[in-house]
Amino acid sequence: VIPAAFDYAAPSSIPETISLLQEHGDEAKILAGGHSLLPLMKLRLAAPGILIDLGRIRDLAYIRDENDHVAIGPMTTHYMLESSDFLRQRLPLLSTAASTVGDMQVRNRGTIGGSLAHADPASDLPTIVTALRGEIVATGPGGERTIAARDFFQDIWTSALEPDEVVTEIRIPYGPAPTSYAYEKFRQRASDWAIVGVAVSLDRQNGTIDRASVVLTNVGTTPVTATAVEEALAGQSANAETIQRAADLASEGLDPSPELKASPDYKRHLARVLTRRALTTALQLS
């Protein structure tokens, strides 16, 4: 299937990109790796009048250590995330999760900026960046602003980006101590989207969980923070009982929409089971 006809612009800078966005308004879509947008256009679920391709702007693909956070360029591919030694050391949740996106070919093209801006609640990276308390830098005509991931995702395929803004960086904090982490996702077949996914990132001191981050994929209109689970873990000692009690709360308040391959009840069940597995893996209690 062939996408509906569109115009194509290939700006060479971010300011030029923003002028194009201002000029074309709602008709314009940003093209990053194209692995979310082009499939939608081929199915004619999206028919933008013009694509603005970031592919010719230099230096938008990078992973840079800023000492207390890592700065990631919007055109950084999933493959770059999965193969970065620095991320494997400092933010292994991000590199591990990136290595489970789609398949090798998809990870060679798909980008972190594109995945976040696309704001699909079934995608992995929105969940991961939310769990890691990341921030998204959006640049528009008035300059830069920084949006916490927890505020960035607003609805299905809807982010806090204004029509004339573009994602120009992703910032993810990291501390001196390694965190305990896991990403569990349940798929029907290899390289499918998650039916449900759970990202866990825990700060520990000795045997106690200081702070927990637990975020779910594909159980709502955005990545869903499992607040009840986080609260049940904070300040508790890391053992099987704590995990079981906390994981049982993972479906609290969840109202997932039914899908062909999963009813809401099934998704709530998966949320509890996968949260228990993710916590068990993260705390190496298995």
- DSSP state, 134? -
Answer for which of 14, 46, 71, 106 binds other proteins (CB under 8 A) is 106
Residue 35 interacts with other proteins (CB under 8 A): yes or no: yes
By rule CB under 8 A, what string of x and - marks binding of each residue 69-98 to other proteins?
A: ----------x-------------------
> Shortest Cβ distance from residue 190 to other proteins (Å)?
4
Phi, psi for residue 155 in degrees, rounded to 5: -165, 180
Cα separation of 33 and 112, whole Å? Answer: 9
Cα separation of 140 and 145, whole Å? Answer: 8
Answer for which of 14, 16, 19, 38 binds other proteins (CB under 8 A) is 38
Query: Taking the mean position of all CA atoms in its chain, how far away is CA 267?
Result: 19
Cβ atoms of 50 and 27 within 8 Å: the answer is: yes
Report the half-sphere exposure of 184 (CA within 13 A, side-chain side): 16
For residue 171, the cross-strand partners are 71, 135
> Shortest Cβ distance from residue 66 to other proteins (Å)?
28
For residue 262, the cross-strand partners are 259
Stretch that binds other proteins, among 1-9, 19-27, 224-232, 236-244 (CB under 8 A): 1-9
Answer for which of 11, 73, 74, 102 binds other proteins (CB under 8 A) is 102
Cβ atoms of 214 and 199 within 8 Å: the answer is: yes
Based on CB atoms, which residue is closest to other proteins, 108 or 236? 108
For residue 77, the cross-strand partners are 111
Cβ count within 10 A of residue 202: 22
> Shortest Cβ distance from residue 51 to other proteins (Å)?
7
Residue type, 16: E
Separation of first and last alpha carbons in the chain: 47
- Say which residues have a Cβ less than 8 Å from residue 27's Cβ, sequence separation at least 6: 48, 49, 50
Q: Within 165-194, which residues bind other proteins (CB under 8 A)?
A: 190-191
Based on CB atoms, which residue is closest to other proteins, 103 or 162? 103
Answer for which of 15, 25, 39, 258 binds other proteins (CB under 8 A) is 39
> Shortest Cβ distance from residue 96 to other proteins (Å)?
13
Residues touching other proteins, count (CB under 8 A):
28
Residue 109 interacts with other proteins (CB under 8 A): yes or no: yes
Residue 16 interacts with other proteins (CB under 8 A): yes or no: no
Residue 46 interacts with other proteins (CB under 8 A): yes or no: no
> Shortest Cβ distance from residue 158 to other proteins (Å)?
23
Cα separation of 117 and 100, whole Å? Answer: 19
Stretch that binds other proteins, among 63-71, 84-92, 103-111, 252-260 (CB under 8 A): 103-111
Q: Which positions lie near other proteins, rule CB under 8 A?
A: 1-8, 10, 31, 34-35, 38-39, 42, 51, 53, 55, 79, 102-106, 108-109, 190-191
